[in-house]
Amino acid sequence: MTLRKFAGLGALLSIVMPGLAMAADEVAAPVLNSGDTAWMLTATALVLFMTIPGLALFYGGMVRSKNILSVMMQCFAITGLISILWVVYGYSIAFDTTGMEQGVVNFNSFFGGLSKAFLAGVTPNSLTGPAALFPEAVFITFQMTFAIITPALIVGAFAERMKFSAMLIFMTIWFTLVYAPIAHMVWSGNGGLMWDWGVLDFAGGTVVHINAGVAGLVACLVLGKRKGYPNTPMAPHNLGYTLMGAAMLWIGWFGFNAGSAAAANGTAGMAMLVTQIATAAAALGWMFAEWLTHGKPSALGIASGVVAGLVAITPAAGTVGPMGALVIGLVAGVVCFFCATSLKRKLGYDDSLDAFGVHGIGGIVGAILTGVFAAPALGGFGTVTDIAAQVWIQCKGVGFTVIYTAIVTFVILKVLDMVMGLRVTEEEEAVGLDLAQHNERGYNL
Protein backbone atom coordinates (compact mmCIF):
# COMPACT_ATOMS: atom_id res chain seq x y z
CA MET A 1 0.00 0.00 0.00
CA THR A 2 2.84 2.39 0.82
CA LEU A 3 4.49 1.92 -2.54
CA ARG A 4 1.18 2.45 -4.24
CA LYS A 5 0.65 5.67 -2.27
CA PHE A 6 4.04 7.01 -3.31
CA ALA A 7 3.44 5.97 -6.88
CA GLY A 8 0.08 7.70 -6.81
CA LEU A 9 1.63 10.82 -5.28
CA GLY A 10 4.35 10.82 -7.91
CA ALA A 11 1.77 10.55 -10.65
CA LEU A 12 -0.23 13.38 -9.08
CA LEU A 13 2.83 15.62 -8.79
CA SER A 14 3.77 14.90 -12.38
CA ILE A 15 0.40 16.30 -13.38
CA VAL A 16 0.17 19.21 -10.93
CA MET A 17 3.74 20.57 -10.92
CA PRO A 18 3.85 21.63 -14.58
CA GLY A 19 0.58 23.42 -14.02
CA LEU A 20 1.96 25.18 -10.92
CA ALA A 21 5.08 26.18 -12.84
CA MET A 22 2.97 27.59 -15.65
CA ALA A 23 0.86 29.48 -13.11
CA ALA A 24 3.99 30.96 -11.55
CA ASP A 25 5.22 32.06 -14.98
CA GLU A 26 1.88 33.69 -15.66
CA VAL A 27 2.03 35.60 -12.35
CA ALA A 28 5.59 36.74 -13.01
CA ALA A 29 4.91 37.85 -16.57
CA PRO A 30 4.04 41.55 -17.02
CA VAL A 31 0.33 42.08 -17.45
CA LEU A 32 -1.26 45.03 -19.23
CA ASN A 33 -3.62 47.13 -17.11
CA SER A 34 -6.60 47.98 -19.29
CA GLY A 35 -7.80 50.83 -17.04
CA ASP A 36 -4.47 52.64 -17.12
CA THR A 37 -4.21 51.98 -20.84
CA ALA A 38 -7.62 53.53 -21.46
CA TRP A 39 -6.72 56.59 -19.42
CA MET A 40 -3.38 57.08 -21.14
CA LEU A 41 -4.99 56.78 -24.58
CA THR A 42 -7.46 59.49 -23.54
CA ALA A 43 -4.76 61.72 -22.03
CA THR A 44 -2.68 61.45 -25.19
CA ALA A 45 -5.56 62.64 -27.35
CA LEU A 46 -6.20 65.52 -24.93
CA VAL A 47 -2.59 66.73 -25.12
CA LEU A 48 -2.59 66.65 -28.93
CA PHE A 49 -5.87 68.58 -28.77
CA MET A 50 -3.95 71.32 -26.96
CA THR A 51 -1.83 72.09 -30.03
CA ILE A 52 -4.32 71.40 -32.78
CA PRO A 53 -6.74 73.08 -32.54
CA GLY A 54 -6.19 74.68 -29.10
CA LEU A 55 -2.92 76.56 -29.49
CA ALA A 56 -3.56 77.23 -33.18
CA LEU A 57 -6.77 79.08 -32.31
CA PHE A 58 -5.33 80.75 -29.20
CA TYR A 59 -2.42 82.22 -31.17
CA GLY A 60 -4.38 82.66 -34.40
CA GLY A 61 -6.89 84.99 -32.79
CA MET A 62 -4.18 87.22 -31.32
CA VAL A 63 -2.36 88.08 -34.54
CA ARG A 64 -3.56 90.48 -37.21
CA SER A 65 -5.98 89.07 -39.76
CA LYS A 66 -3.32 88.99 -42.48
CA ASN A 67 -1.27 86.50 -40.45
CA ILE A 68 -3.82 84.07 -39.00
CA LEU A 69 -3.11 81.28 -41.48
CA SER A 70 0.64 81.60 -41.05
CA VAL A 71 0.39 80.96 -37.30
CA MET A 72 -2.05 78.08 -37.72
CA MET A 73 0.08 76.64 -40.51
CA GLN A 74 3.13 76.73 -38.27
CA CYS A 75 1.27 74.81 -35.54
CA PHE A 76 0.13 72.14 -38.00
CA ALA A 77 3.53 71.87 -39.70
CA ILE A 78 5.30 71.53 -36.34
CA THR A 79 2.86 68.79 -35.38
CA GLY A 80 3.81 66.80 -38.45
CA LEU A 81 7.53 67.57 -38.29
CA ILE A 82 8.07 66.73 -34.63
CA SER A 83 5.98 63.56 -34.88
CA ILE A 84 8.41 62.17 -37.46
CA LEU A 85 11.55 63.39 -35.69
CA TRP A 86 10.28 61.86 -32.45
CA VAL A 87 9.99 58.36 -33.89
CA VAL A 88 13.24 58.61 -35.87
CA TYR A 89 15.47 59.66 -32.96
CA GLY A 90 13.75 62.01 -30.49
CA TYR A 91 12.23 59.34 -28.27
CA SER A 92 15.55 57.55 -28.07
CA ILE A 93 17.51 60.71 -27.18
CA ALA A 94 14.98 61.59 -24.48
CA PHE A 95 14.41 58.20 -22.86
CA ASP A 96 17.19 55.78 -23.79
CA THR A 97 19.07 55.03 -20.54
CA THR A 98 22.10 53.31 -22.06
CA GLY A 99 25.30 54.26 -20.22
CA MET A 100 23.48 56.00 -17.36
CA GLU A 101 24.36 55.42 -13.72
CA GLN A 102 22.93 57.19 -10.70
CA GLY A 103 25.34 59.78 -9.30
CA VAL A 104 27.67 59.55 -12.31
CA VAL A 105 27.82 62.51 -14.70
CA ASN A 106 28.78 61.54 -18.24
CA PHE A 107 27.63 62.23 -21.79
CA ASN A 108 24.54 60.10 -21.28
CA SER A 109 23.50 62.29 -18.35
CA PHE A 110 22.78 64.98 -20.96
CA PHE A 111 21.97 63.06 -24.10
CA GLY A 112 20.30 59.68 -24.48
CA GLY A 113 21.60 56.94 -26.74
CA LEU A 114 20.15 55.76 -30.03
CA SER A 115 19.19 52.18 -29.20
CA LYS A 116 15.52 53.18 -29.61
CA ALA A 117 16.07 55.06 -32.88
CA PHE A 118 13.33 54.33 -35.41
CA LEU A 119 11.53 52.76 -32.42
CA ALA A 120 13.67 49.66 -32.63
CA GLY A 121 12.26 46.79 -30.60
CA VAL A 122 8.86 48.36 -29.99
CA THR A 123 6.04 45.86 -30.59
CA PRO A 124 2.34 45.68 -29.69
CA ASN A 125 3.40 43.63 -26.66
CA SER A 126 6.00 46.14 -25.36
CA LEU A 127 4.82 47.42 -21.99
CA THR A 128 5.94 50.28 -19.76
CA GLY A 129 4.74 52.17 -16.71
CA PRO A 130 5.78 52.97 -13.15
CA ALA A 131 3.44 50.46 -11.53
CA ALA A 132 0.59 48.96 -13.56
CA LEU A 133 1.58 48.54 -17.17
CA PHE A 134 0.32 49.96 -20.47
CA PRO A 135 1.68 49.73 -24.03
CA GLU A 136 5.00 51.43 -24.70
CA ALA A 137 3.44 52.63 -27.96
CA VAL A 138 0.99 54.70 -25.93
CA PHE A 139 3.80 56.18 -23.80
CA ILE A 140 5.73 57.04 -26.97
CA THR A 141 2.72 58.85 -28.41
CA PHE A 142 1.93 60.58 -25.12
CA GLN A 143 5.46 61.96 -24.85
CA MET A 144 5.36 62.84 -28.55
CA THR A 145 2.49 65.26 -27.87
CA PHE A 146 4.67 67.06 -25.29
CA ALA A 147 7.47 67.28 -27.84
CA ILE A 148 4.99 68.75 -30.35
CA ILE A 149 3.53 71.52 -28.20
CA THR A 150 6.86 72.79 -26.86
CA PRO A 151 8.28 74.18 -30.14
CA ALA A 152 4.77 75.25 -31.15
CA LEU A 153 4.68 77.52 -28.09
CA ILE A 154 7.80 79.34 -29.34
CA VAL A 155 5.86 80.46 -32.43
CA GLY A 156 4.04 83.04 -30.29
CA ALA A 157 7.23 84.98 -29.66
CA PHE A 158 8.23 85.55 -33.30
CA ALA A 159 4.76 85.52 -34.87
CA GLU A 160 4.24 87.67 -37.99
CA ARG A 161 7.88 87.94 -39.07
CA MET A 162 9.82 84.64 -39.50
CA LYS A 163 10.12 82.85 -42.83
CA PHE A 164 8.29 79.53 -42.91
CA SER A 165 11.32 77.69 -44.32
CA ALA A 166 13.59 79.10 -41.61
CA MET A 167 11.03 78.16 -38.97
CA LEU A 168 11.02 74.52 -40.07
CA ILE A 169 14.80 74.21 -40.00
CA PHE A 170 15.07 76.08 -36.70
CA MET A 171 12.50 73.80 -35.06
CA THR A 172 14.26 70.68 -36.34
CA ILE A 173 17.62 71.72 -34.89
CA TRP A 174 16.10 73.15 -31.69
CA PHE A 175 14.15 69.97 -31.02
CA THR A 176 17.33 67.91 -31.50
CA LEU A 177 19.72 70.02 -29.44
CA VAL A 178 17.43 71.55 -26.82
CA TYR A 179 14.08 69.83 -26.25
CA ALA A 180 15.14 66.19 -26.38
CA PRO A 181 18.26 66.67 -24.20
CA ILE A 182 16.39 68.72 -21.57
CA ALA A 183 13.65 66.07 -21.45
CA HIS A 184 16.36 63.44 -21.00
CA MET A 185 18.09 65.33 -18.18
CA VAL A 186 14.83 65.81 -16.25
CA TRP A 187 12.75 62.69 -16.95
CA SER A 188 14.96 59.80 -18.07
CA GLY A 189 15.65 58.46 -14.57
CA ASN A 190 18.74 57.60 -12.56
CA GLY A 191 21.81 59.12 -14.18
CA GLY A 192 19.96 62.01 -15.81
CA LEU A 193 21.58 65.27 -14.75
CA MET A 194 18.58 67.10 -13.26
CA TRP A 195 16.91 63.84 -12.22
CA ASP A 196 19.90 63.10 -10.00
CA TRP A 197 19.82 66.64 -8.65
CA GLY A 198 16.28 65.92 -7.45
CA VAL A 199 14.52 68.53 -9.59
CA LEU A 200 10.73 68.14 -9.32
CA ASP A 201 8.99 68.57 -12.66
CA PHE A 202 5.87 66.45 -12.77
CA ALA A 203 4.54 67.39 -16.20
CA GLY A 204 6.90 69.83 -17.90
CA GLY A 205 7.31 73.19 -16.17
CA THR A 206 11.01 73.02 -16.95
CA VAL A 207 11.03 70.72 -19.95
CA VAL A 208 8.18 72.42 -21.79
CA HIS A 209 7.40 75.91 -20.54
CA ILE A 210 10.65 77.44 -19.30
CA ASN A 211 12.34 75.80 -22.26
CA ALA A 212 9.90 77.25 -24.81
CA GLY A 213 9.55 80.62 -23.08
CA VAL A 214 13.29 81.28 -22.96
CA ALA A 215 13.73 80.11 -26.56
CA GLY A 216 10.91 82.46 -27.56
CA LEU A 217 12.54 85.41 -25.83
CA VAL A 218 15.85 84.74 -27.57
CA ALA A 219 14.08 84.34 -30.92
CA CYS A 220 12.20 87.63 -30.69
CA LEU A 221 15.40 89.44 -29.69
CA VAL A 222 17.42 87.94 -32.56
CA LEU A 223 14.73 88.64 -35.16
CA GLY A 224 13.99 92.13 -33.89
CA LYS A 225 10.70 93.95 -33.55
CA ARG A 226 7.82 93.79 -35.99
CA LYS A 227 7.68 96.70 -38.39
CA GLY A 228 5.96 99.57 -36.61
CA TYR A 229 6.15 98.08 -33.12
CA PRO A 230 5.28 99.53 -30.61
CA ASN A 231 3.81 102.65 -32.23
CA THR A 232 1.55 100.96 -34.80
CA PRO A 233 -1.62 99.39 -33.33
CA MET A 234 -1.40 95.58 -33.57
CA ALA A 235 -4.56 94.54 -31.78
CA PRO A 236 -5.74 90.90 -31.87
CA HIS A 237 -8.06 90.48 -34.82
CA ASN A 238 -10.41 87.83 -33.33
CA LEU A 239 -10.49 87.39 -29.56
CA GLY A 240 -13.31 84.89 -29.99
CA TYR A 241 -10.78 82.47 -31.48
CA THR A 242 -8.39 83.20 -28.63
CA LEU A 243 -11.00 82.47 -25.97
CA MET A 244 -12.00 79.24 -27.71
CA GLY A 245 -8.36 78.25 -27.93
CA ALA A 246 -7.84 79.01 -24.23
CA ALA A 247 -10.86 76.87 -23.37
CA MET A 248 -9.43 73.99 -25.40
CA LEU A 249 -6.08 74.38 -23.67
CA TRP A 250 -7.78 74.34 -20.27
CA ILE A 251 -9.61 71.10 -21.06
CA GLY A 252 -6.66 69.47 -22.80
CA TRP A 253 -4.36 70.31 -19.89
CA PHE A 254 -6.07 67.66 -17.76
CA GLY A 255 -4.47 65.13 -20.10
CA PHE A 256 -1.18 67.03 -19.83
CA ASN A 257 -1.07 67.02 -16.02
CA ALA A 258 -3.25 64.14 -14.86
CA GLY A 259 -1.89 61.98 -17.69
CA SER A 260 1.63 62.48 -16.35
CA ALA A 261 0.75 60.19 -13.45
CA ALA A 262 1.01 57.43 -16.10
CA ALA A 263 -1.82 55.60 -14.35
CA ALA A 264 -5.48 55.99 -13.48
CA ASN A 265 -4.82 56.46 -9.78
CA GLY A 266 -5.00 58.90 -6.88
CA THR A 267 -2.09 60.97 -8.15
CA ALA A 268 -3.90 61.53 -11.44
CA GLY A 269 -7.06 62.51 -9.57
CA MET A 270 -5.23 65.03 -7.38
CA ALA A 271 -3.35 66.39 -10.40
CA MET A 272 -6.69 67.04 -12.08
CA LEU A 273 -8.06 68.83 -9.02
CA VAL A 274 -5.05 71.08 -8.42
CA THR A 275 -4.91 71.92 -12.14
CA GLN A 276 -8.46 73.24 -11.99
CA ILE A 277 -7.84 75.17 -8.77
CA ALA A 278 -4.62 76.84 -9.93
CA THR A 279 -6.04 77.75 -13.33
CA ALA A 280 -9.13 79.34 -11.84
CA ALA A 281 -7.03 81.26 -9.31
CA ALA A 282 -4.63 82.54 -11.98
CA ALA A 283 -7.47 83.62 -14.27
CA LEU A 284 -8.98 85.67 -11.44
CA GLY A 285 -5.58 86.93 -10.32
CA TRP A 286 -4.75 88.28 -13.79
CA MET A 287 -8.28 89.66 -14.23
CA PHE A 288 -8.28 91.62 -10.96
CA ALA A 289 -4.69 92.81 -11.40
CA GLU A 290 -5.62 94.17 -14.83
CA TRP A 291 -8.87 95.64 -13.52
CA LEU A 292 -7.06 97.53 -10.77
CA THR A 293 -4.23 98.64 -13.08
CA HIS A 294 -6.12 99.57 -16.26
CA GLY A 295 -9.64 100.20 -15.00
CA LYS A 296 -11.32 97.35 -16.91
CA PRO A 297 -10.91 93.57 -17.13
CA SER A 298 -10.34 92.22 -20.64
CA ALA A 299 -11.16 88.97 -22.40
CA LEU A 300 -7.56 88.70 -23.60
CA GLY A 301 -6.42 89.15 -20.01
CA ILE A 302 -8.51 86.38 -18.52
CA ALA A 303 -7.53 84.03 -21.36
CA SER A 304 -3.87 84.80 -20.69
CA GLY A 305 -4.43 84.27 -16.98
CA VAL A 306 -5.90 80.85 -17.67
CA VAL A 307 -2.78 79.80 -19.55
CA ALA A 308 -0.50 81.28 -16.88
CA GLY A 309 -2.19 79.15 -14.23
CA LEU A 310 -2.03 76.02 -16.36
CA VAL A 311 1.68 76.62 -16.93
CA ALA A 312 2.52 77.30 -13.29
CA ILE A 313 0.79 74.22 -11.87
CA THR A 314 2.36 71.89 -14.44
CA PRO A 315 5.60 71.10 -12.55
CA ALA A 316 3.73 70.86 -9.24
CA ALA A 317 0.64 68.90 -10.24
CA GLY A 318 1.82 65.56 -8.86
CA THR A 319 3.06 66.79 -5.50
CA VAL A 320 1.11 69.83 -4.26
CA GLY A 321 -2.21 69.93 -2.48
CA PRO A 322 -5.28 72.08 -3.16
CA MET A 323 -4.23 75.08 -1.05
CA GLY A 324 -0.74 75.05 -2.50
CA ALA A 325 -2.31 75.08 -5.97
CA LEU A 326 -4.44 78.06 -4.98
CA VAL A 327 -1.37 80.07 -3.98
CA ILE A 328 0.64 79.01 -7.05
CA GLY A 329 -2.22 80.05 -9.33
CA LEU A 330 -2.76 83.45 -7.71
CA VAL A 331 0.94 84.28 -7.72
CA ALA A 332 1.35 83.17 -11.35
CA GLY A 333 -1.65 85.18 -12.53
CA VAL A 334 -0.45 88.42 -10.96
CA VAL A 335 3.27 88.00 -11.76
CA CYS A 336 2.65 86.99 -15.38
CA PHE A 337 0.30 89.93 -15.87
CA PHE A 338 2.96 92.44 -14.87
CA CYS A 339 5.71 90.65 -16.82
CA ALA A 340 3.64 90.44 -20.01
CA THR A 341 2.62 94.09 -19.81
CA SER A 342 4.75 96.44 -17.69
CA LEU A 343 8.04 94.55 -17.87
CA LYS A 344 7.75 93.97 -21.62
CA ARG A 345 7.03 97.65 -22.26
CA LYS A 346 9.87 98.75 -20.01
CA LEU A 347 12.45 96.46 -21.65
CA GLY A 348 11.07 97.06 -25.15
CA TYR A 349 11.28 93.54 -26.61
CA ASP A 350 8.61 92.37 -29.06
CA ASP A 351 7.37 89.04 -27.74
CA SER A 352 4.39 89.07 -30.11
CA LEU A 353 2.00 86.82 -28.18
CA ASP A 354 3.75 86.77 -24.78
CA ALA A 355 5.33 83.34 -25.03
CA PHE A 356 8.01 84.37 -22.53
CA GLY A 357 5.75 86.49 -20.33
CA VAL A 358 3.29 83.65 -19.83
CA HIS A 359 5.17 80.40 -20.42
CA GLY A 360 8.68 81.39 -19.41
CA ILE A 361 7.71 83.40 -16.32
CA GLY A 362 4.82 81.10 -15.39
CA GLY A 363 7.09 78.09 -15.67
CA ILE A 364 9.72 79.70 -13.45
CA VAL A 365 7.15 80.69 -10.81
CA GLY A 366 5.64 77.21 -10.81
CA ALA A 367 8.97 75.40 -10.72
CA ILE A 368 10.25 77.37 -7.73
CA LEU A 369 6.99 77.22 -5.76
CA THR A 370 6.85 73.47 -6.34
CA GLY A 371 9.80 73.24 -3.97
CA VAL A 372 7.71 75.01 -1.33
CA PHE A 373 4.28 73.43 -1.63
CA ALA A 374 5.35 69.85 -2.36
CA ALA A 375 6.25 69.62 1.33
CA PRO A 376 3.73 67.63 3.41
CA ALA A 377 4.11 70.33 6.10
CA LEU A 378 2.33 72.71 3.67
CA GLY A 379 -0.29 70.27 2.47
CA GLY A 380 1.76 68.68 -0.31
CA PHE A 381 2.16 65.04 -1.18
CA GLY A 382 5.84 64.97 -2.07
CA THR A 383 8.78 63.77 -0.03
CA VAL A 384 10.17 67.24 0.66
CA THR A 385 11.33 67.59 4.26
CA ASP A 386 13.70 70.55 3.81
CA ILE A 387 11.88 73.27 1.90
CA ALA A 388 14.88 75.58 1.58
CA ALA A 389 17.04 72.78 0.16
CA GLN A 390 14.36 71.77 -2.37
CA VAL A 391 13.81 75.37 -3.45
CA TRP A 392 17.56 75.62 -4.10
CA ILE A 393 17.40 72.44 -6.20
CA GLN A 394 14.47 73.89 -8.14
CA CYS A 395 16.38 77.13 -8.70
CA LYS A 396 19.37 75.15 -9.98
CA GLY A 397 17.11 73.36 -12.45
CA VAL A 398 15.56 76.65 -13.59
CA GLY A 399 18.94 78.33 -13.90
CA PHE A 400 20.51 75.49 -15.87
CA THR A 401 17.55 75.31 -18.27
CA VAL A 402 17.51 79.08 -18.82
CA ILE A 403 21.24 79.27 -19.55
CA TYR A 404 21.44 76.11 -21.68
CA THR A 405 18.35 76.95 -23.73
CA ALA A 406 19.30 80.61 -24.21
CA ILE A 407 22.82 79.86 -25.40
CA VAL A 408 21.97 76.98 -27.75
CA THR A 409 18.92 78.77 -29.17
CA PHE A 410 20.94 81.92 -29.81
CA VAL A 411 23.67 79.99 -31.64
CA ILE A 412 21.14 78.10 -33.79
CA LEU A 413 19.34 81.29 -34.80
CA LYS A 414 22.49 83.27 -35.57
CA VAL A 415 23.90 80.49 -37.75
CA LEU A 416 20.61 80.12 -39.62
CA ASP A 417 20.39 83.87 -40.09
CA MET A 418 23.83 83.89 -41.71
CA VAL A 419 23.09 80.86 -43.89
CA MET A 420 19.55 81.53 -45.13
CA GLY A 421 18.09 84.51 -43.31
CA LEU A 422 15.37 84.28 -40.68
CA ARG A 423 13.08 87.15 -41.45
CA VAL A 424 10.68 87.94 -44.26
CA THR A 425 11.22 91.15 -46.21
CA GLU A 426 9.56 94.41 -45.18
CA GLU A 427 7.22 94.13 -48.17
CA GLU A 428 6.20 90.59 -47.19
CA GLU A 429 5.65 91.65 -43.60
CA ALA A 430 3.49 94.55 -44.74
CA VAL A 431 1.29 92.41 -46.98
CA GLY A 432 1.07 89.68 -44.37
CA LEU A 433 2.57 86.21 -44.11
CA ASP A 434 -0.62 84.49 -45.25
CA LEU A 435 -0.18 85.82 -48.77
CA ALA A 436 3.59 86.23 -48.77
CA GLN A 437 4.45 82.76 -47.47
CA HIS A 438 1.41 80.63 -48.36
CA ASN A 439 -0.43 82.48 -51.14
CA GLU A 440 -3.69 82.29 -49.21
CA ARG A 441 -5.95 84.56 -47.22
CA GLY A 442 -7.63 83.74 -43.94
CA TYR A 443 -10.63 85.79 -44.96
CA ASN A 444 -11.89 86.19 -48.55
CA LEU A 445 -14.54 88.91 -48.57
- 315 DSSP assignment: T
3-state helix, strand, coil in the chain (%, to 5): 75, 0, 25
d(CA 194, CA 182): 9
DSSP secondary structure, 40-63, as one string: HHHHHHHHHHIIIIIIHHHHHHHS
pLDDT in tens, 339-359: 999 999 999 999 999 999 999
pLDDT band at 131 (very low <50, low <70, confident <90, very high): low
Convert 104-171 into a string of H (helix), E (strand) and C (coil). CCCHHHHCCCCCCHHHCCCCCCCEECCCCEEEHHHHHHHHHHHHHHHHHHHHHHHCCCECHHHHHHHH
Identify the pLDDT of residue 444: 87
Check pLDDT > 60 for residue 28. Answer: no
Question: Could you tell me if 305 and 282 are in contact, meaning their C-beta atoms sit under 8 angstroms apart?
Answer: yes
d(CA 412, CA 90): 18
Percent of the residues in the chain that have a pLDDT greater than 70, as a whole number: 93
Question: Could you tell me if 245 and 251 are in contact, meaning their C-beta atoms sit under 8 angstroms apart?
Answer: no
Q: How many other CB atoms sit within 10 Å of the CB of residue 395?
A: 15
Per the prediction, the chain carries an average pLDDT of: 92
Identify the pLDDT of residue 130: 76
pLDDT in tens, 217-232: 999 999 999 999 999 9
Check pLDDT > 90 for residue 273. Answer: yes
In the three-class reduction of DSSP (H, G, I as helix; E, B as strand; rest coil), residue 32 is classed as strand
Residue 83 CB partners (closer than 8 Å, separation 6+): 144, 148
Identify the pLDDT of residue 3: 37
Q: Return the biggest CA–CA distance within the chain.
A: 108
CA 335 from chain center: how many Å?
20
Check pLDDT > 90 for residue 13. Answer: no
In the three-class reduction of DSSP (H, G, I as helix; E, B as strand; rest coil), residue 79 is classed as helix
Q: Minimum mean pLDDT among 32-41, 123-132, 140-149: which range?
A: 123-132
pLDDT band at 132 (very low <50, low <70, confident <90, very high): low
pLDDT in tens, 154-204: 999 999 999 999 999 999 999 999 999 999 999 999 999 999 999 999 999
Percent of the residues in the chain that have a pLDDT greater than 90, as a whole number: 89
d(CA 125, CA 246): 37
- For 353, phi then psi, to 5°, come to -120, 20
**pTM given for the model:** 0.92
Check pLDDT > 60 for residue 14. Answer: no
Check pLDDT > 80 for residue 92. Answer: yes
pLDDT in tens, 400-427: 999 999 999 999 999 999 999 999 999 9
Identify the pLDDT of residue 91: 97
